[in-house]
Structure 1
Amino acid sequence: MTEDGQSSVPEPTVRNRTVEAGIIAAWNLIWRADGKIMPKTWTALSLWSDMWTSGMNLTAAGLKFGEMMGASAHVFGSRCGSIAEVARNPLEGDYAELGRMVPEKVDAFSRAGRSALADLYAIHTGAIANWMQLGTIMAAGRLPTSAEAARMTGRSSRLGSRAAASAGKALAPVHRRATANAKRLRRKKRA
């Protein structure tokens, strides 16, 4: 307060209000209403990081796919031999091994399908959220605010990352089963 009773704090100007609104908008990108930090805030660096992670996830899925195909070739060869032995001598066949083939495939592919469907649902939900937000903005006849644009861009980036990671997650149960079978059949052959 000054001696004449006036406030010493300057009146907010248009420029100060704009800066203040920008700071509040940036703060709202970082903090949720309940005071907790958002799990992931979009920045240019996080977009680059999401793209890098997506590439690494796809590379890892490709490597696992190659490993699975090699293991599958070994399992296929071993089981074809078991089927041929059963055809030649039905009383001496390895029916325990032959009985594993269908149930383990049903289990592995069911798990893979469940994983793929969960990711598809999450991706679809995120895409619909983006479309709804964009539709609201278009219906208002305005451009998106920086906060809205950042939210949609961040969501899109996470959707891309999730789509890239879903390949490896869906492949995991089939890969795990195929490589485990190959190891087991190699040990069995040596014994």
Structure 2
Amino acid sequence: MMVASAFVVNRRTGLMWSAAEDPLNADLDELGRMVPEKAAAFYEGLSDMGRARDPLDAAERLLDPIHKRATANARRLRGA
């Protein structure tokens, strides 16, 4: 997840710089995904965490939706 997250942050930072330089040609779809997807991932993780039986299970349930989105974003941004 950390490699995928680092790739996504790097790629999106470049998109933000490009948008600042040329707003008319910005990738607004990708930039618009950032906040809602994080909110959805954390909501899902927190909801699942409440059903955990022990602290380790709670941590795994919290991180699973975040991991899924980070790796999916990395695949999409790589064009795979």
Q: TM-score, normalised by structure 2?
A: 0.91
- Which of 33, 40, 64 aligns to 1:107? It is 40
Distance 2:56 2:14 in 1: 38
Q: Give unpaired runs (5+ residues) of structure 2.
A: none
Distance 1:99 1:115 in 2: 25
- Is the radius of gyration larger for structure 1 or structure 2? 1
RMSD in angstroms over aligned alpha carbons? 1.4
Distance 2:56 2:6 in 1: 26
Q: TM-score, normalised by structure 1?
A: 0.40
Greater helix content: 2
Superposed CA deviations along residues 14-34 of structure 1, whole A, max 9, x for unmatched, are xxxxxxxxxxxxxxxxxxxxx
Alignment of 1:128-143 (within 5 A): none
- Which of 62, 71, 74 aligns to 1:182? It is 74
Q: Tell me the matched-pair count.
A: 80
Is 1:89 paired with 2:31? no
Alignment of 1:56-71 (within 5 A): 68-71=1-4
Distance 2:11 2:56 in 1: 33
Percent identity, aligned pairs only, is: 45
Distance 1:80 1:93 in 2: 12
